[in-house]
Chains A and B, each alone.
Chain A
Amino acid sequence: MSGEVRVEAAAGCHIFSGCGFPAPGLENFYFKPLFTVGSFGFTKPMLVAVICTVLVLAFFAAAFWKPKPVPRGIQNLGELAILFVRDQILRPSLGRKGDTYLPFLVSLFYYIFLMNLMELIPVIQFPAMSKIGFVVAPVAIVYVLYIYLGFKNQGAWGYIRNMWPSGVPIFILPILIPIELLRFFIIQPFTLGIRLFANMFAGHLLLTIFMVATWYLASLSIGLLFAFGSAVMVLFVFLLELLVDILQAFIFTTLTATYIASSLEPQH
């Protein structure tokens, strides 16, 4: 049963009316296709991803289509948005030489932030990053760039040599190589993506549980008191999620900046 069907079925369900609590679960993350083209179904999370991409493009295009030396209107906002990423994320890790990567990091940060923020926007109310497939794409882009820059700046041999653990006796190296290989190729990209996915998944589920509970408990009984408590929790979780949305985008982009920095310069 898809999320929408379940919500419709639970619409008339309240405490003491004979039906149990329609607890949200995994089905809330699956949607009926909005339309299909052959065997391909275009779903709500895909629509959210398209909306976020268009919003990021439209915002920065509107801000810098005809930039003026003294910024006015939306250009002010655009400059503040870029300066935030530059001064809080890029410069601390990469310094001024890293400004080449500013467009990439700005796009990445605001795309992820908007994708996360969509869970709090009425009607949409779904963070596309709570579907693992939408996280895999930015992680793959970041990792391909990370490895490409490493090879480009340090050379193939230099890059592989710098991946070796330094300062350890040579007979210890074979013991550490399996750990290094697994960390570099599997665990590091996995932790980069899974953190974002798990936070958005759990946040959306938590918010849905309290929203459904508020509706379920709302009846002319003692349940109304509990419904009020649940509604307060909705507000609390809403504000918490606002913080998590920006924090996760920030962490993802900061780690991307440090990965790029380690590719530009060897760590050892």
Chain B
Amino acid sequence: MAADLGRSRRRAQPSADEGSAALGLSTGWAVFSYLISGMIAYGAIGWGIGKAVHAEWLLPVGMIVGMAISVAYVIHRFGRQGSVEQQFGGAKGTRAGARGEGNDR
């Protein structure tokens, strides 16, 4: 029983794929957050200016401009080959990997 558990514990150590999965999850939600933020931030600015100058059409224009800025920034930040690993500093897709830390117990 103890030997089985020992084996299962050794198997349970994380691989580079698991690190990449965590990184991918984090990156995916960061991209989603940027896209929403751009739309809301510039939509709000457009709405505010539109309210002041009585031009309601500035709200959708602001939202589209915000979305465009977000898309451009997401491509700049996450779009290049290996840029995600560079940003999080891990050669294998994990921050831990970048620090040269093993996953042994």
Contacts and interface: CB of A to CB of B under 8 A. Distances in A.
Interface of A: 70-71, 76, 79-80, 83-84, 87-89, 91-98, 165, 167-168, 175-176, 178-183, 186-188, 191-192, 251, 254-255, 257-258, 261-262, 265, 267-268
B79 interface: no
- Determine the main DSSP class of B at the interface with A: helix
A70 B2 contact: yes
Contacts of B42: 178-179
B21 interface: yes
Contacts of B102: 96
A182 B40 contact: yes
Interface string B8-52: 110011100011011101100110111011101110010000000
A182 B41 contact: yes
B89 to A, nearest CB: 7
B94 A255 contact: no
Which 10 A-B residue pairs are closest in the complex by CB-CB distance? A95-B96, A183-B37, A258-B26, A92-B19, A95-B101, A178-B41, A182-B37, A87-B12, A92-B22, A92-B14
Contact of B21 (A92, A176, A188): A92
Q: How large is the interface on B (under 10, 10 to 19, 20 to 34, 35 or more residues)?
A: 35 or more
B19 A93 contact: yes
B11 to A, nearest CB: 9
Contacts of B30: 188
A210 to B, nearest CB: 30
A96 B19 CA distance: 13
Contact of B73 (A83, A93, A179): A179
A265 B96 contact: no
Given A183-B34, A257-B22, A258-B25, A88 B12 contact: yes
A106 B19 CA distance: 18
Interface in B56-103: 66, 69-70, 73, 76-77, 87-89, 94-97, 99, 101-103
